[in-house]
Amino acid sequence: MQRIIYDLEFNTAFKIDRKTKQLKKGNAHPECPQEIVEVGAVKLNDEYEVIDSFQIMVKPTLYQRMHPTIQKKTKITREILDSGIFFPEAMKIFKEWIGDDPVQLCSWGMDDYNELKRNCDYHCIVMDLKITWCDVQKMCMKVMEAPKGQQVGLKKAVTHFGITMEERFHSALNDAVYTAKILEALERQKESFENLGLLEGEKIANTN
């Protein structure tokens, strides 16, 4: 089965208090509070080598201004997003890149899974792929014996496994590459993928 590691970056609503000039939570759309603005992914062969990569910027439809904190972290500006494409077309291209063969989609944590599904639902998009989901963060936390209820961040896991930090974090493609390297490190420890965060037979968005 083909294995693909993907990562997403999001934007959300915000407002600035007129009196204090402090950044505050904005009026986010209840059906899509986190809008996907970047998709990054890599395909791996059986030796966990990257054989192909995918990166696309998504032009916003909900939140036209980049949240200042998110922009600082991701380096994504509105000008960059203006060169992207709208979400439905981005998902069409992403699906074509994934292909029609059965695939295991892996991500760091469930946030990317949940937000991809939520964004697809909002845009009435059905990916309908032959996929199995894999939560690499959950697998990693078990290996690292993290305390119950405590999440392990991607950077901490990269440090734990002695992975060289060659590129900055909070880029969808870079984070997908780091997650792939963690997956390789887990495999070197002969960690079983079974029952460590797999969601069998899930589809992105509903089929109604």
What is the CB-side half-sphere exposure of residue 59 using CA atoms within 13 A? 8
Spatial separation of the C-alpha atoms in residues 82 and 184, rounded to whole Å:
35
CATH number at residue 145: 3.30.420.10
pLDDT confidence of residue 129: 78
The string of pLDDT tens digits covering residues 34-44 is: 999 999 999 99
pLDDT confidence of residue 190: 62
pLDDT confidence of residue 92: 96
pLDDT confidence of residue 154: 97
**Which ranges of the chain have pLDDT less than 50?**
191-208
Contact, 36 vs 87, CB < 8 A?
Answer: yes
* 83: containing domain: 2-14+26-200
Q: Regarding beta strands 50-59 and 35-44, do their DSSP bridges make them parallel or antiparallel, or are they unpaired?
A: antiparallel
Spatial separation of the C-alpha atoms in residues 183 and 174, rounded to whole Å:
14
Contact, 136 vs 177, CB < 8 A?
Answer: no
